[in-house]
Structure 1
Amino acid sequence: MLISSNTNFAAMDAEPKPSKGGWITFPFLIATMAGLTLAAGGWANNIIVYLINEFNIKSIDAAQIANIVNGCTTLFPILGAILADSFFGSFSIISVSSLISLAGILLLTLTATLDLLKPAPCENGSNLCVGPSKSQLAILYTSLALSSIGLAGTRFTLATMGADQFDNPKDQGVFFNWHFFTMYAGTLVSVVGIIYVEDNVSWGLGYGLCVAANLIGLMIFVVGRRKYRLLKPQTSPFTGLACVVVAAFRKRKVLLSLKSEDYCQEQQGGGTKSVRTTPTNSFKFLNHAALISQEDTINKPWNLCTLQQVEDLKTLIRISPLWSTGILLCTPIAIQMSLIVLQALAMDRHLGPTFQISAGTMMVFVMLSTSISLALIDRFLLPTYQKLTNTSLTPLQRIGVGHALTVSSMAISALVESKRLAVARSHDIHGNSVVPMSVFWMVPQLVVVGVGEAFHFPGNVSLYYQEFPKSMKSTAAAMVAMFIGIAFYLGTAVVGFMRKTTGWLPDGINDGRMDNVYWVLTILGLINFGYYVVCSWLYEYQNVEKMEISSSSPC
């Protein structure tokens, strides 16, 4: 397992062995993930180059469009998770989303193959390039929107559906490990293989391979339907949380009681009541929502909530400061991922006398670094840490290490870009012309950010899946994607602000000061790291017993 020694999951109620689910579903779900990831990696990781070379869009504008696309793919999973949890179930959401992404990639393939759907190519050496028409842009943006929404609806919902197939938290941990490993490995293959085809053979063939991968993944997923354990969607947990706020405000003047029988308890199967408890003292104002009063006898809607709903909302409030730190953790990474492609286009990308790597392929170093680090962390670092300290590395500690490494990567990026700009000026190179400096100078910063991702990404998923209320497990996994999506949009706003207020990011990056952008990101990362340290120090785990069980497990 990659992260199982530090991953904690909600304890499952003891039930008879189900007739569906279990490891027989594993090949179907992992193969589905592989196909959808190959498809997504092939179009999403090279979209900046496609916009610049095929649609004649300026470099910084192309990077901004890519940030918006990435924001969609990581922000919309929260919507998919809510729909899966509350209305349609995971199977329906994944199936429909896969069809949507298939339609989007197919339309994107048409833009690459039909001359009518893209502008005329620029002549060599000419600065007078004709941009895309409004109708061409409309078709392009439609294809990107469909592809993004479809990808968003599958990735994290598929992870939660896989975990739902198992009752044992240990088995859930194994599945999550393989899920993330498949996601990174599939992206790695697409970055190396499909992107090479796009840059060196044809965009139409490359995107056609993405269509085939998406279609195969969807077919495998549907074939395995009879094997899946399909959980029925429940009433939206967000409705209950909203009810708590409304009911607490309505009964704000009612005096709270110390007696458990004065509070509405959670109902269990068969209509029997659970063991009576009293609400916690934190955020006492919300306790009014579960307090039984005379007004509740007339069944006034949104006037009475269960104690469990009250405590669920308190849990979300307690963890929200930690969640907010993830936004500024991922914002520098989002900006770095788009700027690196622009830097690579203006650097020597030759590997040997004739072979030249694609600018979008630079992401392969992040994927390799993350995949290798995940294995080393699980097999070497975590067992060694446990032997030396007799404790396991907590999710919060893993996330903290990720924060520190991400800040370090931004500082390295600033130093490397300073070196690149110095070489450009010494050779009097302007615009976006290639600088005689190897693109492999950027490998260290990509390796460091990849190692950081191996710490903070699984750590965040583990923390929220463990700490969130049971009714919001799909939402918990998608909350990680949500702050990544917000980070991409925030990154777009930050880059836009810098373009308007500074001269650091002109269309010709050799004439700008991209190194200053990285130094700003370093400072923001340091401030956010300090904020995270304070939040994690003040936070108390809600599921300490589960952590202790997991810590004592040899796996």
Structure 2
Amino acid sequence: MMVTATVMAQVIMYGSYTMWLMMPYLTEVWNMSIMRAAAVVNCFDGVVAILPLGLKIILHLIGVNSFTTDYWMLCWCGFSSTLGLLLVTMSTPPILSKATGTCTKYEPKCIGHTQKTLFYTGLVLLATGMATCLTSLRSYIFERTKKMGIKTPQHIWRIRQALVQYAPKSALEQELVEANSCISPTTLRTKAYHWPSEFWLYRCNGTFTVLLVVLVFWVMPWSFRLGIPVIILFMSTMLFVVKPWYQVLEPEQVSNDHTTNDSSEISIKKIAEILVYNFPMWSTFVIGGLVSSVGNTYFIEQAGQMDPKLGGWQVPTAFFLLFYKVVNLICTKVCKDKISSNTKIYKRIAAFALGVSILCCILAAIVEKSRLDVVKKHGLKDKTDDSIPLSMFLMLPQFFLLGILDGAYNCCVFSFFQNHTPKGLRKYLNSLMHFVLGLGILCNVLSVYLVGKISGRGTRQSWFQHTLNRSRLDYYYWVLAVLSTINLGLYLLVALFFQSESGSEAETEREEVEELEFKRLDWFDLLPLRQ
């Protein structure tokens, strides 16, 4: 059932939320260096973004590319992610302190070998679960609705919204009639909300979830911050498993559920050729992903050490997640509307996004320099537990620019691949977008390593020290600003000579892909702080 499948989006939402918590958790509780903690977070995000393309290619090579396969992959997605997040939660000091003989405080001395093993094993399971969800969820929903007689993505979207918002029966019936679906509105709604808890779970993907995350982050200790999402993921997984994919189909429809490889499906060799041919253009988008990756690593770490007071209120750093997400969604909607009306305008929007990345890096460097000046003035270089008397709301502009960057960036990368790939490759569009993003995130890890080595040559001190107060992130941000400027120049040069290949295809075909893919942000967050 298409709406039931959307609850599996909790895997992406809460998995990404967990990684958003990782930077402060690893630096505060594990006493891990900022460079290593950022590497852990970015390696995780990069692998999750790159893996779906590889999984789709593997499924194509072995000839297993069916609706049933998507169902079982989503089952694995739910159980793997729930178990992974559970292991990460169990790795927090208080949970297994009696069994391991360690202390219960959130301190480095309470992190033993068992906790480390559980933590990294949990991350692997969570990463595979999230990647599997990105690989199969969208195709599962689309194919499931086609079996119900709902052919176009526009109708998929409208019926899904009518169900989730619990619209009147007449409104749902009208949507089904327009979609030429044979499913009864009463049957569909009965199947969609069989459990009282389901309606709440379906509404758990948007603003309400983010607000809940902010509140949980504010008042809870680490074990609860990480543990509460485990409960929601488990409920979502069980809801998906106990409501089989066939339950609103007629018996004869179920028996015909066999998908063969489409003879027109593009070969893996052709996929590689297209990636190589388009490399000069899409390689310029990698820097955008690199800049984006500092959002839930270094930006969050900086905010966590600054003054969180707003008048008499102690505002949690999770506020930046909510602020970022609002800006991101607004920018995505604006860019989507612009690109939908004129598909070739993505080149201008991409140039704008790359220009925003330059401003974001420059502003981040200026704010970090101000923060380090305050640290030096008050003698706080070695006092990492003390709050720096500088308002963290000075970072609002850079989070604002980061939200604009990611919203415009994702729309442009998607539109680029949409305009430069043939019909047989269209099902890989979202995976290709995440592949480019993942490369950028992993390049952040490489850039930090190289900058650290180069800046620390000879007797000079590396820009990346164990703590944030002793590091010189402002210098690193200036390096990113220079790289982004060079990258923008290369992009403008390449864009002048790069032509679209899809102009001859029917506009309706393009619109169907757009309607399905660009509506994704309300279904689930593919990579929060990236989407």
Distance 1:153 1:372, change over 3 A: same
Distance 1:56 1:196, change over 3 A: farther
Instruction: Give TM-score scaled by structure 2 length.
Output: 0.73
Q: Which residue of 2 aligns with 1:159?
A: 138
- From 152, 173, 182, the counterpart of 1:168: 152
Q: Which residue of 1 aligns with 2:410?
A: 457
Q: Is 2:452–2:464's contact at 8 Å kept on the other side of the alignment?
A: yes
Structure 2: segments with no counterpart, 5+ residues:
163-200, 456-461, 516-531
Bigger-Rg structure (1/2) = 1
- From 259, 267, 270, the counterpart of 1:232: 259
User: Whole-Å Cα distance in 2 between the matches of residues 514 and 176 of structure 1?
Assistant: 45
SS in 2 for 1:437: strand
- From 195, 211, 232, the counterpart of 2:230: 211
- From 103, 112, 137, the counterpart of 1:133: 112
User: Whole-Å Cα distance in 1 between the matches of residues 292 and 312 of structure 2?
Assistant: 32
Aligned-pair CA distance for 1:545: 3.2
Q: Is 1:399–1:455's contact at 8 Å kept on the other side of the alignment?
A: yes
Q: Equivalent pairs: percent with the same residue?
A: 18
Distance 1:407 1:91, change over 3 A: farther
Matched, 1:108 2:83: no
Instruction: List aligned pairs for 1:532-551, cutoff 5 A.
Output: 532-546=491-505
Please give the per-residue CA displacement for 1:68-93, whole angstroms capped at 9, x wherever unaligned: 22122212122232345442543232
Instruction: List aligned pairs for 1:241-390, cutoff 5 A.
Output: 241-242=268-269, 314-357=273-316, 359-377=317-335
Q: Is 1:506–1:512's contact at 8 Å kept on the other side of the alignment?
A: yes
Matched, 1:97 2:77: yes
Amino acid at match of 1:406: S
Matched, 1:419 2:370: yes
Matched, 1:497 2:420: no
Structure 1: segments with no counterpart, 5+ residues:
1-24, 243-308
Matched, 1:27 2:3: yes
Amino acid at match of 2:261: Q
Aligned-pair CA distance for 1:144: 0.9
Amino acid at match of 1:73: V
Q: Which residue of 1 aligns with 2:51?
A: 76
Amino acid at match of 1:444: P
Distance 1:152 1:392, change over 3 A: closer
Please give the per-residue CA displacement for 1:93-126, whole angstroms capped at 9, x wherever unaligned: 22212221111011112223222569646799xx
Aligned-pair CA distance for 1:224: 5.5
- From 440, 443, 448, the counterpart of 1:487: 440
Instruction: Give TM-score scaled by structure 1 length.
Output: 0.70
Matched, 1:475 2:428: yes
Distance 1:455 1:436, change over 3 A: same
Aligned-pair CA distance for 1:488: 2.0
Distance 1:392 1:63, change over 3 A: closer
Distance 1:131 1:473, change over 3 A: farther
Aligned-pair CA distance for 1:427: 2.5
Greater shift in the superposed pair: 313-322 or 60-69: 313-322
CA RMSD of aligned residues (A): 3.7
Q: Is 1:198–1:204's contact at 8 Å kept on the other side of the alignment?
A: no
SS in 2 for 1:73: helix
User: Whole-Å Cα distance in 1 between the matches of residues 240 and 212 of structure 2?
Assistant: 24
Please give the per-residue CA displacement for 1:146-201, whole angstroms capped at 9, x wherever unaligned: 111111111253234444446436557889999xxx99994765554235425532
User: Whole-Å Cα distance in 1 between the matches of residues 160 and 273 of structure 2?
Assistant: 27
Please give the per-residue CA displacement for 1:305-341, whole angstroms capped at 9, x wherever unaligned: xxxx6xx665443323222222222112213431112
Q: Is 1:38–1:187's contact at 8 Å kept on the other side of the alignment?
A: no
User: Whole-Å Cα distance in 1 between the matches of residues 433 and 479 of structure 2?
Assistant: 24
Distance 1:330 1:443, change over 3 A: same
User: Whole-Å Cα distance in 2 between the matches of residues 81 and 90 of structure 1?
Assistant: 11
Matched, 1:197 2:216: yes
Amino acid at match of 1:511: R
Amino acid at match of 1:38: M
Aligned-pair CA distance for 1:442: 0.7
Aligned-pair CA distance for 1:57: 2.5
Q: Is 2:38–2:297's contact at 8 Å kept on the other side of the alignment?
A: yes
- From 398, 417, 430, the counterpart of 2:381: 430
Aligned-pair CA distance for 1:447: 0.9
Greater shift in the superposed pair: 433-442 or 370-379: 370-379
User: Whole-Å Cα distance in 2 between the matches of residues 184 and 172 of structure 1?
Assistant: 17
Amino acid at match of 1:87: V
Q: Which residue of 2 aligns with 1:254?
A: none
SS in 2 for 1:436: strand
User: Whole-Å Cα distance in 2 between the matches of residues 520 and 435 of structure 1?
Assistant: 25
